[in-house]
Chain A
Amino acid sequence: MDPASGDENGTLDWETIARTHGARVFRVAYRILGSTQDAEDVSQDVFLEAFRVYQSGSVQSWVGLLVRLATLRALDHHRRKRPSVSLSERDCQSAHDPAGRIVKAELAEGLRRAVSTLADQQATVFVMAFYEQMSRDAIAKALDISPEAVSTSLYKARQRLSKVLHISREESHR
């Protein structure tokens, strides 16, 4: 168990929280946004909000709080503007298999757009399961929901994302 999660019902100092979870917050934001600069901006916002929570009292699970904040703020950011990475930049990086690289980049971008269409809880659960590779029980504990609720959210998220990716691909082939 990650002692910095706060699950031990202890009151952690801010330094421990920042050092332990800084990378995680950035990682979540980056994987949603695909842009280092945007991820840095969102990460700062997340820690500012988290600091206010920290000042107001103890937190059951810092993992749950921070991943959820990072997910929601990153999604807000994504919905306001498109990520700045352009496909043409990625083209230049793999000349020996341009078609494969472009397809993969499109997939990643498509997934980012699709995740922004999910309901907040589905998005958070999806990010925790697939981007952070957390187990169902760990997610349930972090978000303080039942494991069954995690499974249901994940199932719905996968359904929705698969559908959106499929439709997006169909439209791009027309």
Chain B
Amino acid sequence: MSAENPFDESELDDAVAEILVDPLDQAAMERVCNRALNIPKDKALVERNPMTSASRIQPPRWLRIGGLASSFAASVLFVIWLSSLVTSNALAEIVEHVMQIRSVKFAYRLQYFDETRQSGTTMIRDGMMRIENQFSGHTLVSLVDLKRREGLMLDDERKLVQEFSGQQLTGLNSINPIRELIAAKDKSFKSLGSDSIDGKTVDVFKIRGLSIMGIGGEAEMTLWVDTTTQLPVKIDMLDADPKSKTQITFDQFHWNPVADADSFAMKIPNGYQDAEIFTVPELESEASPESQDLKQGVLFAGRVPSQVEVDYKRGTVTALLREQESSSVRRVNELRQWDCGSGELLWSAEVGGAGDFAVCPAKNLLAVVLGKEIQLRKLSTGEIVRSWASNHLLGCVAFDDGGSRLAHGYIEWARPANSAPPTGGVEIWNVDTGRLEHDIEHLDRVDSVEFAPSSHSLLVSSTNFKCRLYNSETAELEYSLLGRNATFSPDGKHLAMVSAKTSPNKSIGRVDLVSVDAMQVVRSFVTGKGDDDSYLLSLAFSADGSSLVAGDWNGTLSQWEVASGESTSVFEPLPAGVHCVRFAPSNQLISGCEDAILRVHVLTQ
């Protein structure tokens, strides 16, 4: 008996010992092995669905009850069951409780920029969903068959009916807290303690890194759970992106309510006419097929590499992948890593709506920012090591040389939206202790941060051509420059930045090379002429500092010899904007382009 457990555990230990000493039937074990070996040969046995064979095998309890879990397609059930291998405790138990319930009724409210766009009540039972809501002054009833993925929308006042199916259901099915809860089951969560709702004591949880309506990946869920029933009392989903702030609230849960089967019947009443009552957007379409063709210099094709980092020591390239801006496909962003030489994919990881990442090969670390969260992962495997949250929306991130400190920029959007330009700041964290060391506030919107090699300087760049050097240990401003997207040379003696001076020909970009000691521009480089106006997005030095390369939104790639300023390799303009460019081992260059291709360019020098 311990202070925590008032019951005698020695009894439990004795019971376990008794079970363990019970001898096992060796012949039975052999029969089990032999039958298992013969399974592939017995097609009839394999094809018979064990979940429906009443004579021998019974389905799990929650499925037999006809619980909410049976509301989803068999493949979804299977994925959910398998995914339960990786859930955290509390959430897993809550979801298990939910999945044992047969039906549920709740109220929902969908707000866009704090304005209620839709509200109503929903009931889910035995694979059917019934939504009653007000839309544009009309009362609508939607009936959805979740298994068959088809539905009806009825306008009783105007006697109109609209049928829909497949991808059109995505938006409606998003107003489904059970689905959201199951999607959240594998995410990291934080307990916020206890609260009281309608006289009931509830546990409160916060889960980050979710998507609302399948978009984004930076939404968060607040979940209030009745401590007695372990069932949700309220669920709130919020995507606070100031460009598209969306919130869905589910409450007034009524578990296992009595329901009239006719109210779910998918029948079109007499006298109703077909009409487009509501334009249901198709949120998903076919994703681009993925491919690789190293002979053509294509390391990866299929998603846009918005950022790339190279680990010279291990000879790997890591890229952050997202959908093309023109695409209607909504998938979470991914990190993937390849071997530079063979092109072999080493690992991939979903990272929600992550916007930036940094690598520290010295410590085998990768940091990725998702919304307000910073995730530390192993660079070699992508596994999460640790994560923590900031109070700000995060935009860019960088390690210092030794990987002991991490800086990230953040953005503060004006409220109300667009009433003023966004501002920003930089936070500096100690990676080892996870403690915030400095918060440099009230800056212009921060677009990139970079620690100087072998010194304490931190370079902070903003889009309005303000480049500032801070002492990263004291957070004191050391110097201001005019430029943006600045980056240090490997020896820290120079930095390159997109020049504040524009060329007379707008399709030609300009890069300044600054001596760090003198803090003066010592040389300028001009890019090749593009088909469109220049907007340089990425600068990078080679590992020995002798070359500099720039990628432009107009599709041009330019390379120069740093010492002389001469333009070296000539590249064919790419068909779309270049987001990122990095030198790679074996005289190669890696570029990430909006045409969803990660390219390997062999340099001529």
Contacts and interface: CB of A to CB of B under 8 A. Distances in A.
Interface of A: 14-15, 17-19, 22-23, 25-27, 30-31, 34, 36, 39-41, 43-45, 47-49, 51-53, 64-65, 68, 72, 76-77, 79-80, 104-105, 107-108, 110-112, 119-121, 130-131, 143-146, 149, 152-153, 155-156, 158-159, 161-163, 165-166, 169
19 contacts: A14-B39, A25-B32, A25-B36, A30-B24, A31-B22, A44-B35, A45-B56, A47-B35, A51-B40, A51-B46, A64-B85, A104-B18, A105-B18, A107-B18, A119-B92, A130-B16, A145-B87, A153-B89, A162-B12
Contacts of A17: 36
A144 B82 CA distance: 11
Contacts of A18: 33, 36-37, 39
Interface in B1-33: 4-5, 7-9, 11-12, 14-16, 18-20, 22, 24-25, 28-29, 31-33
Which A-B residue pairs are the 10 nearest by beta carbons?
A22-B33, A111-B15, A18-B36, A162-B7, A47-B36, A107-B15, A108-B18, A43-B32, A144-B86, A26-B32
A11 B87 CA distance: 24
A110 B87 contact: no
Nearest to A64: B85
Given A22-B33, A47-B39, A111-B16, 5 more contacts: A18-B37, A19-B37, A26-B32, A27-B24, A31-B22
B194 interface: no
B33 A120 contact: no
B45 A48 contact: yes
Contact of B20 (A15, A47, A107, A131): A131
B58 interface: yes
Contact of B96 (A26, A41, A120): A120
Secondary structure call for the B interface: helix
A22 B39 CA distance: 13
Contact of B89 (A34, A40, A121): A121
A110 B33 contact: no
B60 interface: yes
Contacts of A152: 89
B243 interface: no
A112 B36 CA distance: 26
Interface in B449-502: none
Contacts of B85: 64-65, 68, 143-145
A159 B93 CA distance: 16
Contacts of A23: 24, 29, 32-33
B50 interface: yes
B28 to A, nearest CB: 5
A64 B85 CA distance: 8
B96 A119 contact: yes
Contacts of B415: none
Contacts of B39: 14, 18, 47-48, 51
- In this complex, the member of B12, B29, B58 whose beta carbon has the largest number of chain A beta carbons within 10 angstroms is B12
Contacts of B88: 145-146, 149
A108 B89 contact: no
A151 to B, nearest CB: 10
Query: Which of the four size classes fits the interface of chain B?
Result: 35 or more
Nearest to A110: B15
Contact of A48 (B4, B29, B50): B50
Given A76-B61, A143-B85, A44 B32 contact: yes
Interface in B48-103: 50, 56-58, 60-61, 82, 84-89, 92-93, 96
A15 B24 CA distance: 22
B87 A121 contact: yes
Nearest to A124: B85
Contacts of B37: 14-15, 18-19
A163 B61 CA distance: 24
Contact of A19 (B19, B33, B92): B33
B28 A121 contact: no
A82 to B, nearest CB: 15
Given A19-B37, A36-B25, A108 B19 contact: yes
Contacts of A25: 32, 36
B29 A22 contact: yes
Contact of B11 (A49, A155, A169): A169
B29 A26 contact: yes
A56 B87 CA distance: 22
A23 B19 CA distance: 16
B376 to A, nearest CB: 15
A119 B18 CA distance: 23
A158 B309 CA distance: 47
A158 B61 CA distance: 23
Contact of B46 (A48, A119, A163): A48
Contacts of B35: 43-44, 47
Contacts of B96: 119-121
A43 to B, nearest CB: 4
A163 to B, nearest CB: 5
Contacts of A76: 58, 60-61
Contacts of B9: 158, 162
Contacts of A14: 37, 39-40
Contacts of B93: 119, 121
B22 A149 contact: no
A107 B14 contact: yes
A145 B96 CA distance: 17
A159 B4 CA distance: 9
B19 A111 contact: yes
Contacts of A119: 92-93, 96
Contacts of B92: 119, 121
Contacts of A108: 15, 18-19, 22
Contacts of B33: 18-19, 22-23
A161 B15 CA distance: 10
A15 to B, nearest CB: 6
Interface in B271-285: none
Nearest to A21: B36
Given A163-B7, A165-B15, A169-B11, A22 B20 contact: no
